[in-house]
Amino acid sequence: MKKKWPLWEIFVRSKNGLEHRHFGSLHAADAEMALENARDVYTRRNEGVSIWVVESKHITASNPENYGELFEPAQDKVYRHPTFYDLPDDVKHM
């Protein structure tokens, strides 16, 4: 079996001040090529000022089957949100 160009995940910062966002993926033989390809594929219309590339196999993802134990416990912790606290309307700047 011949070795294929691996898959890379592409993250692009649209402009300074914003975070890098996942834009999609592509194939490349190495990191430099992934950067060049990402530039040509995902920023043809001036969509970015900075690119991160990471080989897909290096991403560890949470498993949807564990959704319950990972994320549901946070749903009822309403005290983490400002609306949990009752204050009279007269109190300003808070």
Q: Which residues bind another protein (CB under 8 A)?
A: 2-5, 7, 24-30, 32-33, 36-37, 40-41, 44-45, 61, 63-65
- Residue (7 or 18) nearer to another protein, CB: 7
Could you tell me which residues come within 8 angstroms of residue 70 by beta carbon, excluding any fewer than 6 positions away? 62
Minimal distance, residue 83 CB to another protein, in Å: 25
- Residue (72 or 86) nearer to another protein, CB: 72
Minimal distance, residue 35 CB to another protein, in Å: 10
- Residue (45 or 58) nearer to another protein, CB: 45
CA distance 70 to 73: 7
CA distance 25 to 39: 12
To the nearest 10°, the Cα dihedral for 12, 15, 20, 26?
0
Residue 23 near residue 10 (C-beta atoms within 8 A): yes
Minimal distance, residue 81 CB to another protein, in Å: 23
